[in-house]
Structure 1
């Protein structure tokens, strides 16, 4: 039976030196530090008082056979304990950390050797600690190899009259001695598969935390300096951060000269443009997944880690040339994924299908697969641009309506990519469409799925896209379309007003907030409708058609009213309905909404 792991103890001093020399690779040091400064203070306090800080977990990089037949053993990759190590590097060794804005920052921990039992001996440094004679403002000074206690202690006592070296020296020595504290490391075998590493991690980790495969992949990427790993990882991180901070490009060009001179810099630049209004905002996991799927035609990120490690799946060995080739392919894929033209063309494809803003897109995984598919189809010389656009629009709507990538997404995406390779996309698409979008789906399944009160349900979002795509007008208006109502001046309101339903016995929010009771309406018109029943406010509309004087909305022609009700999937006899008709109204409208979505889908 193979040994899955070994447990080793290292002094804190040796451990930090291993990190300094990259014997133990800690890629998280180059990414935003998520701990609060107080957590760093608490960690030092625990070490000072002899409390355990938990095991660290590393995974030995697989032994890779080089082109010359030699075996190269890799260093250790830290997969659990990044925050603790980063905190120690900051507090003990005085290293800077990267904050959430990607700015370098020092976290200084102050120490008061005169603290009594009921006082805190450690604190996050403030100006008050710097001015105080009792506090040592930065403990990293004491941890430095050149620290001389015979000079420091007398000077400290001189600043604090009445304090003798005998009182201070033991406390300072106790702090310095934390460098000799033994820290346990669970070293996982380099023969373990990625899935096995994940399973062991979950079993060992007391919190039962899942090992994120994207984090695993990012760690693997950044640990390979010889293969441009650090630049690749920064490119992914910076690209995604630029979506959140439009000023980020200016900052990064001044702080990271190596990256700003790389070919990846231009991608961060275009994303930072304030004029961009994105409906797809990916994080690093999304970028990795899209790039991997579009280039390698695989979906399991654990396979990406294996390939970047040089895994030969056929012979179950690790080869240097496979690792090198995998990094080259990943770089090529990243250039395609982050390319401004590709990215914006994909977004425009969805926007032209009615998904005009990010609020209408529910599943990031569905977006990821659709973008990867877009990049794959772009390489297909047998398809023109218009065909690609139509197929991507249909595929996105189909997979959204059927929740294709919600349960076991990696398995489903992996199978889809394999079948697309084997059969070609068009044949595969026709098979899926025939199986998933039968008459039963449109007439029964979708109608049932729309029995929900979630205004952000995928079905209602597709309905909104259908309204936008068909340029349908808002309820009771012929001058403003749904897109404008959703974007600027309108809102979602109830056809049967909420207060009206509550007064008539429908006091459960799951009843009055059904999406089949939602419509897009001017707020002014909604105020004018108030708590009136449909048969009452629709009577006003009928009267204004006769008088040609508007009271609610701007419809003054009977033909316009019929068209408006039809565009909004509302029964033509709404004028005859009150609370007693509400449940039947919901049934009818769900069917009408499903019919509109069906018509919309086949119009793409």
Structure 2
């Protein structure tokens, strides 16, 4: 049974999908990376009738609402984001975010005499042979007769008005061109959709489960999805590129005036680079901390309202999941929590990013810190458990294979058993006398800078001030 359908939609209809937010763009692809020349080439290809490739969407599951009706799931744009966004800015006059989080429009000019497209610039704007912005041709209302008359008058053209009319009309008809859209079934799993993406677009950025989760968050309009997305997106950006702060605040007034801005602004002054989380890391920590689950795939299902027992998608499940995720995200970016965790890392000898080879270990350490704090464990005990667990995980390579399953099992046991007892039971099993006298010695005989055992040795030297 086919898990997809192939349909044709006009350029105008696809643009309307974006305007009406019927379609969501995976967060990893959100900034627009094409330059003006690529936008120009796309418009030129459409004008000449050249193929521009299929657009691929994946439909989110439908959700049963409280009144018993069904909410139709939105589409996630899997492949074709740059092309769709190029059409948005060139034809629909919409500004797009570039890599520096600056909003700008890319204007494409058209010369009807030689049927040539160019990126608008000051020289073109002054040259009457050019229509400086083709978006005017697609605007409503647009009087093509007046346009031709004015163009002929400005350029002293007395003949060939009908040819100019046909040329400009051909540009206008770009909106009516049908593009191929592959629509993937809502029954497909994230793994299957990712595999499809890899096979049809091997040169593209491979989308991860976190990308789909961020798309789901971004497309939400009811349960604080926008707040969660901005918290994650801007926190991760500020910690790595604080110099972009002024530009982001200037271009996102809503964010600048929101509590989110107040809650994360502190990170601009954070100088420590030993834990530099990406949006993937924030999602991982927030989700596992609050849901006690390890698979990000489950997060997408829960945000879609998935009831794993009845296999239905229910609004109440989606609402609870969004609110729990917001709590987890807020806890992650909390200044006190983040700085306390950094202090724990320093206290075990991690004083340099070169000593943080495993992001999974650092993520689980923060998950454990936040979860034990929720459980009201005393601060000194939390710090002791987290310190020992991080070192144990590094020495044993605990989260290097099948990490999601192991992460889920560990956090559930820490939250259902007495934390110190669980730590001691794992320590006795994993760090036995055989480990210290045989395994560890053998590993230290092979000195590699990237070896976790050698890194822990360096951490021990730092902690004991025996450098």
TM beyond 0.5: yes
- Once the two structures are TM-superposed, the CA of residue 432 in structure 1 deviates from its matched residue by 2.8
Could you report, residue by residue, the CA deviation over 1:510-549 in whole angstroms, capped at 9, with x for unpaired residues?
xxxxxxxxxxxxxxxxxxxxxxxxxxxxxxxxxxxxxxxx
Q: Deviation at 1:220?
A: 0.3
Does structure 1 conserve the Cα–Cα contact (< 8 Å) formed by 2:26 and 2:211? Answer: no
Gaps of 5+ in 2: none
Structure 1: segments with no counterpart, 5+ residues: 474-604
Structure 2 contact 190–297 (Cα < 8 Å) conserved: yes
Instruction: List aligned pairs for 1:85-484, cutoff 5 A.
Output: 85-115=84-114, 121-161=116-156, 164-205=160-201, 207=203, 210-273=206-269, 276-381=271-376, 383-450=377-444, 454-473=448-467
Q: Does the Cα contact within 8 Å between 2:103 and 2:251 map onto a contact in 1?
A: no
Contact 1:96 1:104 in 2 (8 A): yes
Distance 1:198 1:410 in 2: 18
Residue-by-residue CA offset, 1:157-188 (whole Å, 9 max, x unaligned): 34445684344333323322221111122222
Distance 1:43 1:353, change over 3 A: same
Distance 1:209 1:253 in 2: 28
8 Å CA contact 1:19–1:26 kept in 2: the answer is no
Quote the Cα distance in structure 2 between the aligned partners of 1:208 and 1:246.
Answer: 28
CA displacement at 1:208 relative to structure 2: 8.0
1:523-562 correspondence to structure 2 within 5 Å: none
Give the secondary-structure state (helix, strand or coil) at the position aligned to 2:275.
Answer: coil
The answer to whether the 8 A contact 2:145-2:165 is kept is no
Cα offsets for 1:79-99 (capped at 9, x unmatched): 332222111101111110112
Q: CA deviation at 1:409?
A: 2.4
Q: Secondary structure at the match of 1:57?
A: strand
Aligned with 2:242: secondary structure?
coil
Aligned residues: 466
Corresponding residue for residue 61 of structure 1: 60
| Contact 1:31 1:102 survives alignment (8 Å) | no
**Structure with larger RCO (C-alpha < 8 A, sep 6+):** 2
Map of 1:45-56 to 2, 5 A cutoff? 45-56=44-55
Whether the 8 Å contact between 1:96 and 1:105 is mirrored in structure 2 is yes
TM-score (ref. length: structure 2): 0.91
Q: Distance in 2 between matches of 1:408 and 1:40?
A: 42
Q: Distance between the aligned counterparts of 2:309 and 2:276, measured in 1?
A: 37
> Relative to structure 1, is the Cα distance of residues 429 and 148 closer, same or farther in structure 2, using a 3 angstrom cutoff?
same
Show the 5 A alignment for 1:509-520: none
Distance of aligned partners of 1:276 and 1:177 in 2 relative to their CA distance in 1, 3 Å threshold: same
- Does the 8 Å CA contact 1:249/1:269 hold for their aligned counterparts? no
Query: Does the CA-based 8 Å contact 2:29-2:81 persist in structure 1?
Result: no
| In structure 2, distance between residues paired with 1:29 and 1:129 | 35
Quote how far apart the aligned CAs of 1:451 are: 5.7
In 2 relative to 1, CA 159–344 (structure 1 residues): closer, same or farther, beyond 3 Å? same
Question: Does the 8 Å contact 2:28/2:207 carry over to 1?
Answer: no
Whether the 8 Å contact between 1:28 and 1:82 is mirrored in structure 2 is no
Say what the alpha-carbon RMSD is for the aligned residues.
Answer: 2.6
2: distance between equivalents of 1:292 and 1:238? 18
Aligned match of 1:6: 5
- The 3 A distance-change label for structure 1 pair 104 and 29 is farther
Normalising by structure 1, what TM-score?
0.71
Q: Distance in 1 between matches of 2:436 and 2:45?
A: 61
1:362 deviation in Å? 1.4
